[in-house]
Amino acid sequence: MSAGEPDAVSARPIHVTETLVADAALGTVPAEWDAEQAVTAIYSTHYRSLVRLATLLLRDVASAEEVVQDSFIAMHSAWRRLRDNEKALSYLRQSVVNRSRSVLRHRVVVDRNAPKPAPDMPSAEQGALSQLERSAVVDALRTLPARQREALVLRYYGDLSEAQIASAMGISRGAVKSHTARAIASLRAALEMET
């Protein structure tokens, strides 16, 4: 099995906890890989975790899959200047975060202008939320502002460093620190109020 075969990584066990940190073995992909092979290899290692990350941001699996697939297509187009797994993963994370923001923005506008549903009818957001496991933390996370939620999800689900979070969110490291601190304070207050 050589590193040049992207299908080789698909044999990886799927029951382990995945993170969004780049694998060391895929840190530098072979130069002869074309975009198709890179997409296949990175898909097999990171697609699931990226979808889960996007689901935490969007609270909707279908939208999350669409966002991640769009990001993979964008990465395929940009592969000629990426040519590196770490860069590609960073690009994917940025793309997922940006597209999730767009989806949320679009959803806010549609929700604001959509006709009010009947009181006994569950809203679309509740339907989407049913796909995520309902827990106090997830519910409290939903009440946070978008940037704070992104910072928390990237840090505690993606296990990313401050620099990686700053790169993915397109903000400075200081802003990441302040967003994270505020988010933790809000989350702690919300959880304490609940208990």
Partner 1 sequence: MTPVNRDFDDMLRRALHAAADRIEPADDGLERIRRRLNEPWLGRQVSLMLTECADLGQLIVIRLEPAFTRLWSALAALGKSAGASFSRLGSRVPALAALGALLAPSRRHGAAHRGQSQRGWARLRPTLAWLRPALAVASAVLIVVAGFYGLAQLRETLVLTLFPGSTTASTGPGPASSGPSGPGHSVTPSAGGVAPASTRPGSGSPSPKASCSGTSKTTHSPTPSPSSSPSDSTSPSASPSPQPTGNLNPTPTPSSASSPLPASSSAVLGSADRFAGRAAGGHCTQPGPLASASPSRRPAAS
Kindly identify the residues of this chain, within the stretch 142-171, that bind partner 1 according to CB under 8 A: 152-153, 155-157, 159-164, 166-168, 170
Residues 41-60 interacting with partner 1 (rule: CB under 8 A): 43, 45, 47-48, 51-53, 55-56
Which residue, 10 or 120, has its beta carbon nearer to partner 1? 10
Cα–Cα–Cα angle for 81, 69, 138, nearest 5°?
Answer: 115
Which residue, 109 or 122, has its beta carbon nearer to partner 1? 109
d(CA 35, CA 93): 17
Determine contact, residues 191/137, Cβ cutoff 8 Å: yes
> DSSP states of 166-184 as a string?
HHHHTS-HHHHHHHHHHHH
23 lies in the binding site for partner 1 (CB under 8 A)? yes
Which residue, 36 or 125, has its beta carbon nearer to partner 1? 36
Nearest to 185 by CA among 156, 148, 132: 148
Strands (DSSP E) along the chain, which ranges?
A: none
| Beta carbon of residue 42, minimum distance to partner 1 (angstroms, whole number) | 11
Of residues 58, 104, 128, 132, which one binds partner 1 by CB under 8 A? 132
Residues 70-129 interacting with partner 1 (rule: CB under 8 A): 70-78, 80-87, 90-91, 94-95, 98-99, 102, 106, 109-110, 113-114
Q: How far is CA 78 from CA 4, 15, 72, 96, 176, in A?
A: 20, 31, 10, 15, 27
| Beta carbon of residue 180, minimum distance to partner 1 (angstroms, whole number) | 9
- Report how many residues bind partner 1 under the rule CB under 8 A: 97
189 lies in the binding site for partner 1 (CB under 8 A)? no
* Number of residues written out for the chain: 195
Of residues 122, 130, 188, 189, which one binds partner 1 by CB under 8 A? 188
Which residue, 118 or 135, has its beta carbon nearer to partner 1? 135
For residue 168, with 0-12 CB atoms within 10 Å meaning exposed, 13-18 middle and 19 or more buried, which class applies? buried
| Beta carbon of residue 167, minimum distance to partner 1 (angstroms, whole number) | 4
